[in-house]
């Protein structure tokens, strides 16, 4: 665990990119397996590499959002514009998760869909409402737990949540 924490501390952006490239893509693969009720690999090599690149790019924004919204929330608390919760407590984690997901999360969902559409050469906006609702029923609770963790574990857990969401969406959308 110390080696992992050291890696994350020494290479915060690169480690986020690698973790999301691997685990975010794995979440999409697992979702396809469940939807298709088949363990055949669902993507070609180029589409896999594209998905990994997309997840790596999204990870940069996620990493910065985790840091930036923490600062944003602290400024609001210090200015008396947000209730003062104990640092690291549940109220703080919930506040941080809600602020981040209801602002940055919307942009991230849209950007992810735009980037997913590029290799498909289509404009697939189907089920965007469900993607947006996932911010409420999945990402706010998931990131509340994430923000209760030590800083070095947050991005890794967020990447693992991508696999969990892939499982959930796979079962929800299975044929």
Least-confidence region, from 30-34, 68-72, 84-88, 118-122: 84-88
The answer to whether 21 and 160 have CB atoms below 8 angstroms apart is no
Which residue shows structure tokens 């640092």? 87
Separation CA 34–CA 55 (nearest Å) = 21
Q: Name, in order, each residue with C-beta under 8 angstroms of 60's C-beta and a sequence gap of 6 or more.
A: 13, 16, 17
130 band by pLDDT with thresholds 50, 70 and 90: confident
pTM confidence score: 0.93
Return the number of other C-beta atoms located less than 10 Å from residue 104's C-beta: 18
Angle between helices 2-10 and 151-173 (to 10 degrees): 100
Separation CA 121–CA 117 (nearest Å) = 6
CA dihedral 145, 149, 154, 159 (to 10 degrees): -50
Least-confidence region, from 1-5, 156-160, 164-168, 170-174: 170-174
31 band by pLDDT with thresholds 50, 70 and 90: very high
Average pLDDT of the residues in 141-168: 96
Mean of per-residue pLDDT scores for the chain? 94
Query: Is 171 a residue whose pLDDT tops 90?
Result: no
Query: Is 47 a residue whose pLDDT tops 90?
Result: yes
Q: Which two tokens stand for residue 119?
A: 């290799």
pLDDT at 103: 96
DSSP letter string, 106-127: HHHHHHHHHHHHHHHTS---TT
End-to-end CA distance of the chain: 40
């Amino acid at each position: 665990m110390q080696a992992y924490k050291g890696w994350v501390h020494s290479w915060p952006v690169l480690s986020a990119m690698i973790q999301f490239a691997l685990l975010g893509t794995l979440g999409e693969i697992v979702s396809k397996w469940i939807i298709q009720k088949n363990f055949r690999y669902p993507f070609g090599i180029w589409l896999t590499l594209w998905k990994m690149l997309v997840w790596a790019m999204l990870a940069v924004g996620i990493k910065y959002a985790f840091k930036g919204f923490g600062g944003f929330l602290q400024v609001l608390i210090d200015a008396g514009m947000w209730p003062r919760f104990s640092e690291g407590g549940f109220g703080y984690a919930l506040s941080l998760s809600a602020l981040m997901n209801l602002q940055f999360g919307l942009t991230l969902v849209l950007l992810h869909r735009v980037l997913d559409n590029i290799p498909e050469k289509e404009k697939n906006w189907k089920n965007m409402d469900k993607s947006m609702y996932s911010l409420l029923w999945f990402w706010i609770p998931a990131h509340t737990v994430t923000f209760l963790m030590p800083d070095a574990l947050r991005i890794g857990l967020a990447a693992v949540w991508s696999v969990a969401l892939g499982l959930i969406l796979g079962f929800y959308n299975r044929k």
